[in-house]
Amino acid sequence: MYVGKIVNVLVSFSLPGHIHPLRFQWAGRLIRIQEVTYRWKSREGAKEMHHFSVTDGSTLYELVFDSTSLIWRLENIEA
C-alpha cells in the first residue's frame, strides 16, 4: 500500500557512510525496526534517494531518505 508521508526516523550512521534506521513514528505509534531486509538507491533527477525495506517482525515497510532535503518518507506498507 502506497503511503508517501514524511515521518520522523531515529537513525544510526556508521562508517563508511552506512545508514541504519532504528525506529520511526507512524500513525501515533513508535515502530521498532527488527531487521533492515534490503537497501538500495535510486535517483529522482539530481537527487539521490536511499531506500530501506524494514520490518518490525510483522509488517514490511519501505522508508526513503532524500539525501538532498534530509527528509525521510514512509513510502509503502505491506502487511
- Residues forming contacts to another protein in the complex (CB under 8 A) are 35, 37-38, 40-47, 51, 53, 55, 60, 78
For residues 32 and 34, what is the distance between their CA atoms, to the nearest angstrom?
6
* Cα-based distances in Å from 23 to 15, 17, 36, 64: 20, 19, 11, 13
- Taking the least distance from each CB to another protein, the nearer of 32 and 41 is 41
- Taking the least distance from each CB to another protein, the nearer of 11 and 49 is 49
Helix (H, G, I), strand (E, B) or coil at 28: coil
Cβ of residue 11: shortest distance to another protein, in angstroms? 19
Cβ of residue 52: shortest distance to another protein, in angstroms? 10
